[in-house]
Amino acid sequence: MRILIVGNGGREHALLWKLRRDLPSAEFHVTRPNGGMTGVRPVEIAPTDLEALSGFAASRRMDLTVVGPEAPLAMGIADRFRKKGLPVFGPSKAAARIESSKAYAKALMESAGVPTAGYRTFTDREEAVDHLREVGAPIVVKASGLAAGKGAVVCTTVEEAEQAVASMMDDFAFGEAGREVVIEDFMEGEELSVFGIANGEEVVLLPPAQDHKRVGEGDTGPNTGGMGAYAPVSIAEPALMTRVREEVFLPTLRAMAEDDAPFRGLLYAGLMLTPEGPKVVEFNCRFGDPETQVVLPMMESSLLDLLMAAVDGDPLSHREVRFRDGAALTTVVASGGYPGSYPKGKTIDLGRVQESDDLLVFHAGTARGDTGLTTSGGRVLAVTGLGPDLESAARRSREGAAAVEFEGAFHRTDIGWRELARIQGEQR
């Protein structure tokens, strides 16, 4: 079997790792693979070059293409592949609007009765500022378009919110993504990330994870693409997950089908667990990063079988999905300066990192050249620890992250702090 993976970050490395375990005999092709994606056939085509990629996949007769990043999905890569009769896991351009346009997603949720924060959308800065002054703070300002996971700003004062609007709409801090902004009511609670593999009508939910977006300890500082995650999450009890399925995923899938945009691929729901119940913070049209790096290592059954079923439109309800006992936690090792500007080309030394079945290193912003392994991005590595409980998984992950060496390297040492506090409270 020939499998093409589009993308080359930590999420795609985790997908490669899992699919390779599912089918070791498969031949893997990866677009511009990072420094950790060894034993693959490099494809020197950009993930956003849709025509070249579809031509390559057709000429090489790819049995499956898995699209990792949001940008090619939003551009319509799945439509291009399907038009050529190529099996591809990922939603159409119309369905990918659930991530590429927050304004579209909010309107869809409103029409479908999916619980989410109250909101208004604006394309005029003065109208947005007038609204902010009317409703007050705390408030959330979001760039409507794609912003690499950094386009949401939680503002504690009206002044902060006005600055966020000006940054997006006047200074184009997020480029075209900020021409339209969504201003949302602030929601209190814990966040939860839930992956759902969908075939357009049915969905299989994978165990929930919790991401840590802020760059600093104790969830402080600016938002990032994600500094670490863990799974499973104890407060996501079966009754809650039933509500998530019945109140969030299924109504959304029905509404998208009615909107002539059936969703076939990975639907990610970022949720806030409020006193009134789970509410949607955002939808993504692809696997989350770094949540993928903890959810997939916990998966014992075949991911490949699920992906192929979704691609073929086969029933999902009877599929058995098994996960190992215990927990997984990943710590992101980042470049100095991230999420702002940062240097590249720093030599990476992994000599002290002892990889094993319970310590996995997923590469994100790395490259391999004449001088060896070097940094090439803001989030460089995701170090995943697994264990019989979260404490042991956290210890392995943090020890592994601390052993990574390159100039300017830093990581958070408190990933999973809420869950660990709950565990310690129960033990007292």
Instruction: Give the separation between CA 28 and CA 40, rounded to whole angstroms.
Output: 5
Q: What is the pLDDT of residue 427?
A: 67
In this predicted model, what pLDDT tens digit does every residue of 104-162 receive, in sequence order? 999 999 999 999 999 899 988 889 999 999 889 899 999 988 887 678 888 899 999 99
Look at residue 101 and tell me if it is in a domain. Answer: no
133 and 233 together in one domain: no
Look at residue 317 and tell me if it is in a domain. Answer: no
Using the predicted structure, report yes or no on whether residue 171 has a pLDDT greater than 90.
no
In this predicted model, what pLDDT tens digit does every residue of 74-89 receive, in sequence order? 999 999 999 999 999 9
Instruction: Give the separation between CA 297 and CA 360, rounded to whole angstroms.
Output: 9
Q: What is the pLDDT of residue 252?
A: 98
The CATH number for 275's domain is 3.30.470.20
341 and 273 together in one domain: no
> 40: which 2 tokens?
């693959």
Q: Are 271 and 289 in contact (CB under 8 A)?
A: no
Q: Are 131 and 122 in contact (CB under 8 A)?
A: yes
pLDDT classification of 25: cutoffs 50, 70, 90: very high
Q: What is the pLDDT of residue 348?
A: 98
**How many domains in the chain?**
4
**Read out DSSP for 361-417?**
EEESSEEEETTEEEE-SSEEEEEEEEESSHHHHHHHHHHHHHH-B-TT-B--S-TTH
Using the predicted structure, report yes or no on whether residue 426 has a pLDDT greater than 90.
no
CA dihedral 96, 68, 288, 337 (to 10 degrees): -110
225 and 181 together in one domain: no
Q: Is the dihedral of CA 210, 215, 216, 222 positive or negative?
A: negative
Using the predicted structure, report yes or no on whether residue 5 has a pLDDT greater than 90.
yes
Look at residue 95 and tell me if it is in a domain. Answer: no
In this predicted model, what pLDDT tens digit does every residue of 232-263 receive, in sequence order? 999 999 999 999 999 999 999 999 999 999 99
pTM above 0.75, yes or no: yes
Q: Are 344 and 376 in contact (CB under 8 A)?
A: yes
Boundary of a domain, candidates 254, 280, 312? 312
Strands (E) located in 235-378: 264-274, 277-284, 327-334, 359-363, 366-369, 372-375
Instruction: Give the separation between CA 355 and CA 143, rounded to whole angstroms.
Output: 39
Q: What is the pLDDT of residue 351?
A: 94
pLDDT classification of 370: cutoffs 50, 70, 90: confident
In this predicted model, what pLDDT tens digit does every residue of 181-222 receive, in sequence order? 999 999 999 999 999 999 999 999 999 999 999 999 999 998
For residue 403, the one-letter residue type is A
Using the predicted structure, report yes or no on whether residue 341 has a pLDDT greater than 80.
yes
The CATH number for 174's domain is 3.30.1490.20
Q: What is the pLDDT of residue 428?
A: 58
82 and 32 together in one domain: yes
The torsion angles phi and psi of 3, rounded to 5 degrees, stand at -125, 130
Domain that holds residue 173: 118-185
283 and 211 together in one domain: yes
**Which stretch of 54-68, 134-148, 385-399 has the lowest confidence by average pLDDT?**
134-148
Average pLDDT of the chain?
Answer: 94
